[in-house]
Amino acid sequence: MTDSAMTAPRAGTRSTRSDHLWLVGCALVALLALAPILGLVFFAARGSGTLWPHLIANVLPAAARTTALLLLGVGILVTAIGIGAAWLVTAYRFPGRRILEWALLLPLSVPSYVMAYAYLDVVHPIGPLQTGLRNLLGITDPRGLPFPDIRSLGGAIFLLGLILYPYVYLPVRALFVMQSASMLEASRTLGADRFRTFRTVALPLARPAVAVGVSLALMEALNDIGASEFLGVRTLTVAIYTTWVTRSSIEGAAQIALVMLAIVFALVLIERLGRRGMNYSGPRGNKPAMAQPLSGLSGLVATLLCAAPILLGFVVPASYLVVSAWRRIQLGGIPADLWVWTGNSLLFAAVAALITVGVGLFLASAGRMSRRKSLHGLIRLSGIGYAIPGTVLAVGLLVPIAGLDNWIADAIKGIWGRSPGLILMSSGAALILAYCLRFLAISIGGIEAGFTRISPSIDMAAHALGAGTGRLLGGIHVPLLSPAIAAAGLLVFVDCMKELPATLLLRPFNFETLATYVYGEAARGTYEDGAIAALVIVVIGMLPVALLARAGTRAEKRTIVG
C-alpha cells in the first residue's frame, strides 16, 4: 500500500473527528445560550393562577404601551439623525466635515444612565441651563421660565435617540461611501437634483443598512433601565426590575420578561423581513461619488446640523461630568473606594472579554473549518443573547445557575461535610456568564469578519502540507486574525464595563462596579458624588469609538483606492 493511500484514510478520520468536536462544542454553547429562555419559562409556569390576570390588568397594558411609544419615538429620531448625518458627511464638503464625520460616533461612549444622570442636573430649574437662560432674559423667579420636563416619555426618547443614532449612522455612512459615482451621476444626468437623487437612488439602496441600524438601536433602547427609571418612564424593563426587586416576585418578573422577549423576537423578525431580497450591489472598480462643496450659509447650516447631535449627545454630558468631578475632588477629594469600583469593573469586564473572545474564536473557526452545514444554525443560535435585554437574561439565568450552584454545594458537602453556599452567585461567576452570553454575538461577528480576509487557499495549502486543525488554527489563523480578535475583545470589554441591568441583578452581595455606583448615586439624587465614576466610564467608552473611527478610515481608503 502506498503512502498516499495510507494518508488519505488518516486524514479523513482526523477530519471526521474534528467535525464531531466542532459539533459537540457548538451544541453545548447553543444550549447554554438557550438556558435563560428555558429559565424564564420555568419561573413563569410556577406563578399562581391569579398572577397573570393581575399583570394583564394592572402592569402589562401601561408598560407595553409606554415601551411601544418609546421604541416608536426612538426609531424615528435615530433614523432621522443617522441618515441625515450620514448623507451630509458623504455627499457634501463643508467646514469641519473631516472632524465631524467621526465625532458623530462619540455619543456611543456615553451610557444611557450616565446621559440621564447628567441631563437631570443640567436642565434642573436651578441647574446651569435654566439658570443661564433666566439670567440672560432677566427672570429672577426659578418658575418663571417655562421649560420642557426631562422627566417624561419625550425626555427619554430625546436622550436615547441622541445616544443610539450612531447605530444607524455608522452602517448607512459606510454604504453611502460604497455607492458608485456612476449610479448617482446617471440620476443627475436624467435631471434629478441632489435631494431627489438622495430620495430615489441613495436612500432605497441604503435600506438594508437602515434596517440593521434601527433594529440594533431599538434593542438597546429596550434594554435600557437606568435612563428610563431616572426619568420616570415605566417600560417593560423597569417593570421587570421592580417586580423582582421591590415586590419580590420572580415569577411575575419572568412572565413580564416573556412578553418582552416576544417583542424582541418580533423586532428581529421585522428586521429580517425588511432586509429580505435587498442587497447592495454596485459595479466593481468604480470610485465613490465626489462630495459636492458647500460654502457660505449652506456650509454653515451643514456644519451646525452635524454638530448638534455631537453637542447634545456628548459635549453637554461630558462637560457636566468634568465640571462636577472637579468640584467633587475639590470638596472631598477622590472617593476612597473609586479604585475598588474601577478594579471590580475592569476585572470582571476583562475576564468576560477573554472568555467571550475565546468562545467566539471557537465558534467562528467551526463555521470556517467544519463541513457540517448544521453548525451554522448552532452558531447563529449561540449569539441569541445579544437580542435578549440584560434584565431578561438575568431573570432567566437564575434557574440554571441556582440548580448548578446547589449541585456543587451538595457535592462539596458530601465530600467535606460542610456546604460552601452558592459559589457561582457569591463569586461573581454568574455575572461573568451573563456578560459572555449577552455579548457573544459581537465576538463571533468580529472574528467571522476577520476570517473573510483570509483566503481559503491558505487552509488548503496548510492541509496539503500535513497541518492538522490545531496547527492551522494556532499557527496560521490566530496570527492573521489578531487585529479582529483584539477589536472584538475591546468592544466586548467596554460593553461589559457599561452594562447595568444584568450587573444590578446578578452581582454578588456588597459588590459595586462603576456602573452600579453611578446608578445608586443618581437614584439618591447625589449627582456630583457619582460624577467621577461616570466620567471614568465615558473615558473608557471612548476606546471603541476610536477603534471604529480608525477602522472606518482604513475601509474608506481601500474603497477610494479600489
Hey, what's the cell of 476? 496560521
Q: pTM for the full model?
A: 0.81
CA pair distance 154, 543, nearest whole angstrom: 30
Kind plus residue range of the DSSP H or E element containing 92 = strand 92-93
Q: Give pLDDT, residue 15.
A: 57
Q: Give pLDDT, residue 366.
A: 84
User: Between vectors from CA 447 to CA 164 and to CA 469, what angle results, nearest 5°?
Assistant: 165
Kind plus residue range of the DSSP H or E element containing 293 = strand 292-293
Domains by residue range for the chain, with CATH: 20-561 (1.10.3720.10)
Kind plus residue range of the DSSP H or E element containing 342 = helix 338-369
The pairing of beta strand 292-293 with beta strand 92-93: parallel
CA pair distance 259, 68, nearest whole angstrom: 12
**544 Cβ neighbours under 8 A, 6+ residues apart:** 108, 109, 490, 491, 494
Q: Which of 272, 239, 306, 301 is nearest to 66 (CA)?
A: 239
Q: What is the pLDDT of residues 247-263, one digit of tens each?
A: 777 778 888 888 888 88
Q: What is the pLDDT of residues 214-250, one digit of tens each?
A: 888 888 888 888 888 888 888 888 888 888 777 777 7
User: To which residue does cell 459588590 refer?
Assistant: 511
295: left (phi over 0), alpha (psi -120 to 50) or beta: beta
Q: Which of 440, 428, 444, 443 is nearest to 502 (CA)?
A: 428
Lowest-pLDDT choice from 5-19, 46-60, 250-264: 5-19
449 by Cβ neighbours in 10 Å (0-12 / 13-18 / 19+) ranks as middle
- 180 bridge partner residues: 288
CA pair distance 175, 202, nearest whole angstrom: 9
Q: What is the pLDDT of residues 83-104, one digit of tens each?
A: 999 889 988 888 998 899 889 9
HEC string for 103-172: HCCHHHHCCHHHHHHHHHHHCCCCCHHHHHHHHHHCCCCCCCCCCCCCCCHHHHHHHHHHHHCHHHHHHH
401-435: b or e for each residue (b if 16 or more CB lie within 10 Å)? beebbeebbeeeeeeeeeeeebebbeebbbbbbbb
Hey, what's the cell of 361? 474564536
At 307, the amino acid letter reads A
**298 Cβ neighbours under 8 A, 6+ residues apart:** 94
Q: Is the pLDDT of residue 347 over 90?
A: yes
Hey, what's the cell of 562? 479600489
175-204: b or e for each residue (b if 16 or more CB lie within 10 Å)? bbbbbbeebbeebeeeebeeeebbeebbee
Over residues 423-427, mean pLDDT: 82
CA pair distance 298, 20, nearest whole angstrom: 62
Q: Which of 44, 25, 20 is nearest to 254 (CA)?
A: 44
Q: Is the pLDDT of residue 307 over 90?
A: yes
Over residues 265-278, mean pLDDT: 67
Q: Cβ(504)–Cβ(368) under 8 Å?
A: no
Task: Tell me the pLDDT of the chain averaged across its residues.
Answer: 80
Q: With cut-offs at 50, 70 and 90, classify the pLDDT of residue 182.
A: low
**386 Cβ neighbours under 8 A, 6+ residues apart:** 219, 438, 439, 440, 441, 442
**63 Cβ neighbours under 8 A, 6+ residues apart:** 234, 235, 236, 238, 239, 256
Please tell me which of 319-323, 413-417, 449-453, 555-559 the model is most confident about, judged by mean pLDDT: 319-323
Q: Cβ(381)–Cβ(28) under 8 Å?
A: no
Chain mean position to CA 353 = 14
Q: Is the pLDDT of residue 548 over 50?
A: yes
Lowest-pLDDT choice from 33-42, 239-248, 313-322: 239-248
Q: Is the pLDDT of residue 284 over 50?
A: no
